[in-house]
Structure formats: structure tokens, C-alpha cells
Amino acid sequence: MKQLVAIIICTAALVVGLPSSAWAMPEFTLRIKEHKFTPTVLHIPANTKVRLIIKNLDATPEEFESEELHREKVIQGHGQGVVFIGPLAPGTYSFIGEFHEATARGQIVVK
């Protein structure tokens, strides 16, 4: 079953084809520790697509979520995930860790 799902997903990815531009973009890292994000405020360039690597140092899964950025992604405990962001207009965009909303909060400042 695991393999079946993996095969289906891989096939779908091959069919749609992930653009190669994904590999040449600026990279940023966000860490989750004790249900808090570091850095709390992340600066990224305007009108540029960036690769955000989210590393979860906690044992618990967390969901990175931002309504303003149209992003939601579960990051496994002691795992990591990639979220592409942008190109964005200058401004401030907030995000939360939905599973620990009280403490897991941050902002992305675009300029």
C-alpha cells in the first residue's frame, strides 16, 4: 500500500513535471523548536520565488499554515519540508503552526 501510494504520487509528479527552475532559487530556513518558529521574522526579496525549508526539531508534527500566502503543509516531528513562496509584492505576511497556534507564530517580511 505504501509503495502503491508512492508510485501513484511519483507518476503524477512525473506527468505534471516539476519545473527545473525550482532548483535555482534563493533558499531560506525556518526552524520549529518548542512549538516556536526561529526566526520569528523572515526577510525575503520581493517579486522572487524562494524555497523555504522548514525544519521541525520537535518530536511532534506541526502544520505550517498561512492564509495570506495560501500555504498549508504538515511537517513531521524531527522532519523537514519545503514550501515554495512567492513571487510576492512587498509587505508583511503572517504564518502560524496550526497545531500549536498559541506559541507558533511568525511573519514573512517581503521587500
Partner 1 sequence: MFSTAILVFREVLEAALIIGLVAVASRELASRFKWISIGIGSGILGAILIAMMADVINNAAAGMGQELLNAMILLAAVIMLGWHNIWMKKHGRELAVHARQLGQAVSDGQQPMYALTILVGLAVLREGAEVVLFLYSMVVSGTPAGQIASGGAAGLAVGVAFGAGLYFGLLRIPMRYLFRFTSILLLMLSAGLAAQAAGFLVQANVINVMTSTLWDTSWLVSERSVPGNILHALVGYIANPMGIQLLFYLATISIIGSLMWLVDRPGQVRMVKPAPSLPS
Is 82 an interacting residue with respect to partner 1 (CB under 8 A)?
Answer: yes
**Helix, strand, or coil (residue 87):** coil
What are the C-alpha distances in Å from 71 to residues 1, 4, 110?
28, 27, 16
Using rule CB under 8 A, residue 27 touches partner 1: no
Q: Is 57 in the site for partner 1 (CB under 8 A)?
A: no
Complex with partner 1: residue 42 or 66, whichever CB lies closer: 66
Binding stretches for partner 1 (CB under 8 A): 1-2, 5-6, 8-10, 12-13, 16-19, 22, 35, 58-63, 67-68, 70-74, 76-77, 79, 81-84, 87, 89, 98-102
